[in-house]
Each structure stands twice: as structure tokens, then as C-alpha cells.
Amino acid sequence: MRKTVLFQYQQIVNKTASPAADLPMPPEGWLRTMRKALGMSGAQLARRLGVSRAQIAQSEKNELSGAITLRTLQNMAEAMGGRVVYAIVPHDGIETLLKMQAKDKARQLMSRVDTHMALESQLLDSERHQFEMGRLEQELLKEMPANFWDNE
């Protein structure tokens, strides 16, 4: 059941990531770009929202600096007949992130094993070490233990 739920979440993120991947913010920000595309002045948008022109300018500035709230962004978008599309998407896909974490986690675990084996003069040769690393990565990906995202 846990695997099915995890897979469903991964599908949602992957589906969202594709269209949003190459969607850079316009240099002036989305708010100002949308407003200008509509031929709407800052004063006109301010009147629609019942705020001052200075607040519109400040909100557009805040969007560029990342200081705007989602609520303000949504209110302004709606006043211009638009909507905010909010998503968090991975840079390289969920599968890539999971594989990178599994590799890192396997490296951490193998490091501890190597330490113990060195103390007992039983170090693995590099070929066997690589094999065990790959096996451990696959096991971690398959099982996704509760401590998968914990750094050691």
C-alpha cells in the first residue's frame, strides 16, 4: 500500500514538472507582465483591488525579490482575470532525486562497513565494493526505509 501511495505522489510531481520545467519568470515578473499584457495601468489594478497604486508597485517589486505572499499574488491575479499556478518541481525528476539519495545513503552505509572491515583486515576489493554499493542502492530504492532521507 505504501509503495502505491508513493508511486501516486511521484506521478503527480512528474506530471507537473514537465510543463513547468522551462517556464522562467519574465524579467519584470508575472504580475507586471500580465498587467501590461492586458493594457492595464497600476492605478486601474489598484482600484480593482481597493488598494493604493503604491501597494501595486510594492507588490510587483516584492514578487521580483521573492517577498510577496501567495495570498497577495492570488488576489492580484484574480483581479486581472488570472490565477496563480503553484507547484514545487524537482530539477531532475523524482527518480533522479531518489537514485541520488540512495547512492548517498549507500555510500554512508558502506563507509561504516568499510571502517569495521578494515579493523578486521577484511576490506573488500574495489570490484566487490562497487557491486555491494550497487546492490545496496537498489535495496534502498526498493525498500525506502524510514531513515532514507536522514543524513548520518
Digit-coded pLDDT (tens) for 69-85: 999 999 999 999 999 98
**pLDDT greater than 90 at residue 3:** no
Mean pLDDT over the full length of the chain = 89
- Burial class from Cβ neighbours inside 10 Å (0-12, 13-18, 19+) for residue 106 reads buried
CATH class of domain segment(s) 22-79: mainly alpha
Closest Cα partner for 60 from 24, 12, 100, 27?
27
Digit-coded pLDDT (tens) for 89-124: 888 888 999 999 999 999 988 887 766 665 556 666
Closest Cα partner for 34 from 86, 68, 82?
82
Mean pLDDT, residues 13-40 taken together = 87
Residue 42: how many other CB atoms lie within 10 Å: 19
Q: Which residue has the higher pLDDT, 131 or 115?
A: 131
3-state secondary structure of 87: coil
Q: What pLDDT is attached to residue 121?
A: 60
| CATH 1.10.260 domain position(s) in the chain | 22-79
Q: What pLDDT is attached to residue 120?
A: 59
| Percent with pLDDT over 70 in the chain | 90
